[in-house]
Amino acid sequence: MFGTRAAALIVAVLGVFTLVQPATAAPFIVTEAQFNRMFPSRNSFYTYGGLKAAMGAFGSFANQGSDTVKKQELAAFLANVSHETGGLVYIREINQNGDYCDESKPYGCPAGTRAYYGRGPIQLSWNFNYKAAGDYLGINLLKNPDQVATNATTSWKTAIWYWMTQNGPGTMTPHSAMVNSRGFGQTIRSINGSLECDGKNPGTVESRVSKYRQFTGIIGVAPGGNLYC
């Protein structure tokens, strides 16, 4: 009797251990080799490791819906990023003389009225965007906006923050556009639609779409519909 009970207990314990074994992690959507193909001339600041680390802070980014949707979303993000930075070449906006300080905000512009020019993969700009991104990420970007240009993971995080939380001039976040089958064109509208969409600048729209098609080809997924805005 004792031997039978002991055997049953061992089986039960082994069963518990089986249940708590960690699942094998799914492979990252884009390999480092694919990333390097997408950005052959990228600035070394924009690291592959920084992108992976930043994605870990946003659970549903490129991780919602079918495998096709996940791949399309990451391709859409990277295509827009490529357009914004000249292929991940530029860390800071070329023209840094613009006044991106909305002084009507109660927190003002403690880093200086001309300190909030574009930085990072989506060229984060304006004091209110630095404030909102910093608050979300737990980093004081309002006081020290150049962290977006000096820390690769932080830089990628600000771009993903915008993608996941901001409508911009559109009506939905870029993330929502991709996971709800609204198409790549709606991501353009959410990032720079007021200057590019509805015939305002078809050349830049075509540039973004061309890059998206290229990147979906590298990843190995169909681009889907509604590519233009």
Report the catalytic residues: 84
Q: How far apart are CA 58 and CA 161, in angstroms?
A: 8
Q: Do the beta carbons of residue 148 and residue 115 sit within 8 Å? A: no
Q: How far apart are CA 128 and CA 126, in angstroms?
A: 6
Q: Do the beta carbons of residue 223 and residue 180 sit within 8 Å? A: no
Per DSSP, 32 falls in state H
Q: Do the beta carbons of residue 148 and residue 141 sit within 8 Å? A: yes
CB atoms within 10 A of CB 161: 22
Query: Tokens in use for 154?
Result: 């932080």
* Helix, strand or coil, per DSSP, at residue 34: helix
